[in-house]
Copies of this chain bind each other. A is one copy, B any other.
Amino acid sequence: MADDIFKALADPTRRTILDELTERSGQTLFELCGRLTMKHQLGMSRQAVSQHLAVLEGAGLVRSRREGRYKFHDIDPEPLRHIAERWIGPDTKDGTP
């Protein structure tokens, strides 16, 4: 569960996709492809982006809704909210036994 999230976040292209969906939610696959190419100089095939979106969906970070022949993608930042909490204690621990 957390494994999918961290694996999804490990790729810089996927993080850029999350950035894009944060800035403008409800983008289609083609819309994302265009923005990745234009704004971020990431030239990759449509399938590459599609596969990245699948990974993000599998991790629960992106939700998609289909309308006609369009498929819109939205970010779901909820799983990210407490992802690092396990290592951030209230105070700094030291290992004096």
Contacts and interface: CB of A to CB of B under 8 A. Distances in A.
Given A6-B9, A12-B3, A27 B95 contact: yes
Oligomer: number of copies: 2
Interface in A67-81: 72, 74-75, 77, 80-81
Interface string A2-38: 1100110110100100110010111100000000000
Interface residues of A, number: 31
Report whether over half of chain A's contact residues are helix, strand or loop; otherwise say mixed: mixed
Interface of A: 2-3, 6-7, 9-10, 12, 15, 18-19, 22, 24-27, 72, 74-75, 77, 80-81, 83-84, 86-89, 93-96
Given A9-B10, A22-B86, A22-B93, 14 more contacts: A2-B15, A3-B12, A6-B15, A19-B86, A22-B87, A22-B89, A25-B95, A26-B95, A75-B87, A80-B84, A80-B87, A80-B88, A81-B84, A81-B88
